[in-house]
Chain A
C-alpha cells in the first residue's frame, strides 16, 4: 500500500537553530499538509499546499515556518529559529483531491522534534 515517508524520525536541536523536516508524499497525490501534535495534546493543522503554493495556513504557521516542494517528490517544512514550544510530533499528510468530499488524508509516521 502506498505510504507517506518522513525523515528524520527524531531530531534533537538547540533553541534558535534551523530545522528542516522532510516528507515524500504518495506519488499521485496533489495536496500536501503539515500537522503537529504536542505530546498529550490534539493534532493541529499547520498548512496545506497545492499547485506549488500555500492554500491555507493556521495561526501557528507564522513567519518562522515555511514549506517548499523543491522537486517532484519531496515536501519540506522549515522552522527558521526553533523555540522550546516547537517541540512536537510533526505529521506530513497527502491526499489525491483536496476539494472532494471524501478527501482522505494519508499521514506519515511523523518526525519527533525535541528543542532543548
Chain B
C-alpha cells in the first residue's frame, strides 16, 4: 500500500526555524512535492524534489533522500502568516496523480 507519514502538529516561535519531516513508502516515485494549505483554502505549491539533495527557495528549503524514503521541509525566519498546514505529496506515476500525507499543522506563536 501507500504510506506517507508526517507529524500532526508543530509549534514554533516567530523568527525561529522549523523542520517538517515526511517519510514515504509508495509503489512508485516520480517526485515529492510540498504544498501549503491555510484553513479552508486551496493547497499552494511550495517546492519539488526528484533528485537527492537540498532545494532552496528563499525562506523555504526542501530535502530529499530517495534511498531512505525521506524528505523534510525547512521553514526559516518564521512569520505569523506561515501558520498553516504543510502537505507532503508523492507523485507515484508518470501522470499528475499525487498521494498526499495527512499534513502537518504548524502554529507560529509571537
Tell me the A residues contacting B by CB distance below 8 Å.
Answer: 4, 31, 33, 35, 41-45, 48, 50, 55-56, 91, 93, 95, 98-99, 101-110
Contacts and interface: CB of A to CB of B under 8 A. Distances in A.
Contacts of B43: 43, 91, 107
Contacts of B91: 103
Contact of B50 (A33, A91, A101): A101
B70 interface: no
The number of chain B residues touching the other chain, given as a range, is: 20 to 34
A109 B30 contact: no
Interface of B: 30-31, 33, 40-45, 48, 50, 87, 89, 91, 93-103
Contacts of A55: 95
A48 B50 contact: no
5 contacts: A41-B102, A42-B102, A42-B103, A43-B87, A104-B33
A102 B95 contact: no
Nearest to A3: B42
B30 A33 contact: no
B96 A95 contact: yes
B30 A101 contact: yes
B44 A107 contact: yes
